[in-house]
A and B are shown apart, each in its own frame.
Chain A
Amino acid sequence: GAGVSQSPSNKVTEKGKDVELRCDPISGHTALYWYRQRLGQGLEFLIYFQGNSAPDKSGLPSDRFSAERTGESVSTLTIQRTQQEDSAVYLCASSFPTSGGGELFFGEGSRLTVL
């Protein structure tokens, strides 16, 4: 596709349920990032993939959060046993491999509401 695609765009779930959020990066972008944005807040880094490996998982807030990437393409962010504080917009971005400073291309985000 022309840009980074995320699905679902909106997800409402009950506390304690598991959710999966999907990201389709731009073709050819080997770097993929997940960020979280709470209402009125900045972007909080969650995890970074280079190819299919995740050299930096330092931002994952708890062991309820996990992410994987297959085929150097699609990535899935899974949140188990969701809590109300998980409510946020989850943003995915991709970029060309660079030594740093490369432009990040963001999707429109997946808005998660945990009731």
Chain B
Amino acid sequence: SQKIEQNSEALNIQEGKTATLTCNYTNYSPAYLQWYRQDPGRGPVFLLLIRENEKEKRKERLKVTFDTTLKQSLFHITASQPADSATYLCALGSYIPTFGRGTSLIVHP
């Protein structure tokens, strides 16, 4: 069955460092991959989309890579700030997105 794996352990980093979150998947050939941010008690907010024929996408301090051979996406936040602290969800699909469980990021001042 399709499986999406994100690290269940929280990622703790110091302000100013680059945060790197991982999304691995198996038994799946998605046409696209999305990353969302979710704050406690709120709905997810879309951040970035990358399609299967793209290797890398950037938006301001965010960078996403998509390796369909490794079946992995890396999500980077450069120059991290305490305000970046949240849970980050990856979602894969060919039409309807299927979500991973998310990884909590905590940026310490």
Q: B-contacting residues of A (Cβ < 8 Å)?
A: 4, 33, 35, 40-43, 45, 48, 56, 91, 93, 99-101, 103-109
Known: A100-B32, A104-B44. 8 other contacts (CB 8 A): A4-B43, A40-B101, A42-B4, A45-B99, A56-B96, A101-B32, A106-B43, A109-B43
Can you show 10 pairs from A to B with CB atoms below 8 A apart? A43-B89, A48-B96, A93-B43, A100-B31, A100-B95, A101-B51, A104-B34, A106-B45, A108-B42, A109-B43
Q: How far does the alpha carbon of A42 sit from the alpha carbon of B102 in the complex, in Å?
A: 6
Contact B93 A43 (CB under 8 A): no
Cβ B42 vs Cβ A43 within 8 A: no
* CB closest residue in chain A, given B8: A40
Interface contact A91-B43, CB-CB below 8 Å: yes
- Enumerate chain B interface residues (CB-CB to A < 8 A): 4, 31-32, 34, 36, 41-46, 49, 51, 89, 91, 93-102
A48, A56, A107: the one within 8 Å of B43 (CB): A107
Contacts of B51 in A (CB 8 A): 101
Q: Which of B94, B97, B102 contacts A104 (CB 8 A)?
A: B97
Residues of A within 8 A of B94 (CB): 100
CB closest residue in chain A, given B52: A101
Q: Are A45 and B98 in contact (CB under 8 A)?
A: yes
B102 touches A108 (CB 8 A): no
CB distance from B89 to the nearest CB of A (A): 7
| B96 (CB) vs chain A CBs: closest residue | A48
Q: In the bound complex, how far is the Cα of B44 from the Cα of A105, in angstroms?
A: 8
User: Are A42 and B96 also in contact (CB < 8 A) when A91-B43, A103-B46, A106-B44 are?
Assistant: no
Q: Bound state CA distance, A44 and B72, in angstroms?
A: 21
A33 to B101 CA separation, bound complex (whole angstroms): 18
In the bound assembly, the distance between CA atoms of A91 and B36 in angstroms comes to: 14
Instruction: Verify A104–B89 contact, CB threshold 8 A.
Output: no
Partner of A35, one of B41, B42, B93, B99: B99
Query: Which residue in chain B gives the minimum CB-CB distance to A47?
Result: B96
B101 touches A41 (CB 8 A): yes
User: Beyond A43-B89, A100-B31, A100-B94, is A105–B46 a contact (Cβ under 8 Å)?
Assistant: yes
